[in-house]
Amino acid sequence: MAELLEAIMLICFGLSWPLNAYKNYKAATAVGTSWQFIALITAGYFAGIAAKFVSGNLNWVLVVYFINVVCIAANWLVYFRNLRLDAQRARTVVAEEEALIVVA
């Protein structure tokens, strides 16, 4: 029963990550995204996986942990993509401002 409850908790968390990655992908900005939060969640998943190995309780729930790690990895990819897009936009704004100064 404990394994089922653990799996339900992981599935609930896990379902939120693809939705979050999609939302952030569509937003195309890292503004408002907390890398610290993503890092804490990532560390939590790895701690859960380590606990399974340390306790010797290797069961089917471990698969759910690994699926969640894949989902959180997608969030990291989107976060770094969005950082790159934000930097590109900032360079464009600076270039446009410099062009206006030269013209004036």
Q: What is the DSSP letter of 58?
A: -
Q: Is 70 exposed, middle or buried (0-12, 13-18, 19+ CB in 10 A)?
A: exposed
Nearest to 18 by CA among 80, 65, 70: 70
pLDDT tens per residue, the chain (104 residues)? 888 999 999 999 889 999 999 999 999 999 999 999 999 999 999 999 999 999 998 999 999 999 999 999 999 999 999 999 999 999 998 877 777 777 66
Instruction: Indicate which CATH number applies to the domain containing 15.
Output: 1.20.1280
Q: Which residues are CB-neighbours of 6 under 8 A, at least 6 positions away?
A: 61
Measured in Å, how far apart are the chain's first and last C-alpha atoms? 73
Q: Into how many domains does the chain fold?
A: 1
Q: Which domain holds residue 53?
A: 2-103
Q: Would you state the pLDDT for residue 103?
A: 65
Pairwise CA distance, residues 20 & 30, whole Å: 12
pTM of the model as a whole = 0.84
